[in-house]
């Protein structure tokens, strides 16, 4: 895109008027989502890992994630954000370097989470905050705009409670993060607590119980952006799983009768 992708991306983050951040997993899905009306695209660490035949959570290298992100940047004219897991390393400087490399790859921003994959837990509070502070400083030193999202993943991963997540949200806010994100809070009441913990834009994940919430309901709560995470990719994998079970267990091919014709797909990909 000719416009600064970071500036265009930042402008979409309006609390109370959330945009849908469409997580894609290859060029084709990115182009389809753009043609269907997405205003911004994101990678998904899990969805990308699935395309490589791997599980989610520290199985994809930074070089692989950057190359994948560049594919999505090239696929459309929309700003693209990177789901860059824990910044691909423990040290704050590693997170800072990841920001610089992501900007060089053409990304409009990235998210960095506080999951410590090597120890199957979360980073200690002070280290988690310092990692976001370093990433934010690197983002602010760039010659263009860049949106840094700080994620508190312990609630989703079961390694700490909501109170700790809220404390981290406040600390990540103070460390300079542009947007805050607590994936998969138990429900709407908990999401409201996340929103109350910061005046900055908050990302909500349309998954689990929050997949039953409409965009209008998210808007009323004050959410600024709604991401899909790996949920859309998992929907496609549900089709593969169910159709595969029917075929290989029972010789039943009826699920294939619901396949979308090539015409509409071709039209979207040409768009």
The pLDDT tens digits of the residues spanning 6-20 come to 999 999 999 999 999
Q: Are strands 225-227 and 40-42 parallel, antiparallel or unpaired?
A: unpaired
With beta carbons less than 8 A apart as the criterion, state whether 261 and 23 touch: no
φ, ψ for residue 71, nearest 5 deg: -60, -45
Length of the chain: 271
The parts of the chain modelled with pLDDT lower than 70 are 1-2
Query: What is residue 105's predicted lDDT score, i.e. its pLDDT?
Result: 98
With beta carbons less than 8 A apart as the criterion, state whether 230 and 44 touch: yes
Q: How many domains does the chain have?
A: 1
Query: What is residue 3's predicted lDDT score, i.e. its pLDDT?
Result: 75
Residue 248 domain-assigned (yes or no):
no
Residue 126 domain-assigned (yes or no):
yes
Residue 249 domain-assigned (yes or no):
no
Query: What is residue 183's predicted lDDT score, i.e. its pLDDT?
Result: 98
Distance between CA atoms of 228 and 83, rounded to whole angstroms?
A: 11
Strands (E), the chain: 19-23, 40-42, 80-83, 109-113, 115-116, 121-122, 147-151, 179-181, 202-205, 225-227
CB burial string 219-244: b at 16+ within 10 A, e below: bebbbbbbbbbbbbbbeeeeeeeebe
User: H or E stretch including 215?
Assistant: helix 215-221
Residue 246 domain-assigned (yes or no):
no
Residue 240 domain-assigned (yes or no):
no
The two tokens of residue 210 are 């929050």
Query: What is residue 99's predicted lDDT score, i.e. its pLDDT?
Result: 98
- CATH number for the domain including 35? 3.20.20.60
Query: What is residue 1's predicted lDDT score, i.e. its pLDDT?
Result: 53
- Cα angle: 26, vertex 265, 106; to 5 degrees: 30
Distance between CA atoms of 7 and 10, rounded to whole angstroms?
A: 5
Among 77, 79, 78, 96, CA closest to 88 = 96
Residue 267 domain-assigned (yes or no):
no
Cβ within 8 Å of residue 57, ≥6 positions away = 45, 49, 85, 115, 117
Distance between CA atoms of 50 and 36, rounded to whole angstroms?
A: 23
Query: What is residue 26's predicted lDDT score, i.e. its pLDDT?
Result: 98
Residue 242 domain-assigned (yes or no):
no
- Cα angle: 113, vertex 115, 118; to 5 degrees: 135
Residue 112 domain-assigned (yes or no):
yes
Q: Which domain holds residue 99?
A: 5-234
Q: What is the separation of C-alpha 258 from the centre of its chain, rounded to a whole number of angstroms?
A: 29
């Amino acid at each position: 895109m000719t416009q600064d992708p970071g500036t265009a991306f930042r402008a979409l983050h309006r609390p109370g008027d959330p945009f849908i951040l469409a997580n894609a997993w290859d060029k084709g899905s990115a182009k389809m989502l753009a043609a269907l009306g997405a205003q911004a695209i994101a990678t998904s660490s899990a969805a990308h890992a699935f395309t490589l035949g791997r599980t989610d959570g520290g199985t994809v290298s930074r070089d692989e994630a950057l190359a994948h992100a560049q594919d999505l940047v090239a696929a459309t004219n929309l700003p693209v954000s990177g789901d860059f897991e824990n910044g691909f390393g423990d040290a704050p400087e590693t997170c800072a370097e990841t920001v610089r490399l992501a900007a060089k790859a053409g990304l409009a921003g990235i998210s960095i989470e506080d999951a410590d994959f090597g120890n199957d837990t979360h980073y200690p509070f002070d280290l988690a905050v310092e990692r976001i502070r370093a990433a934010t400083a690197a983002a602010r030193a760039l010659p263009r705009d860049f949106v840094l999202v700080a994620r508190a993943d312990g609630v989703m991963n079961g390694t700490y409670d909501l109170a700790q997540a809220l404390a981290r949200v406040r600390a990540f806010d103070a460390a300079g993060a542009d947007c805050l994100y607590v994936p998969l809070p138990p429900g709407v009441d908990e999401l409201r607590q996340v929103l109350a913990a910061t005046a900055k834009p908050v990302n909500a994940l349309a998954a689990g119980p929050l997949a039953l919430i409409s965009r209008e309901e998210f808007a009323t709560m004050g959410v600024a952006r709604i991401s899909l995470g790996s949920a859309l990719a998992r929907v496609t994998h549900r089709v593969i799983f169910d159709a595969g079970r029917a075929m290989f267990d029972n010789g039943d091919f009826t699920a294939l009768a619901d396949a979308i014709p090539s015409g509409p797909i071709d039209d979207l990909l040409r768009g």
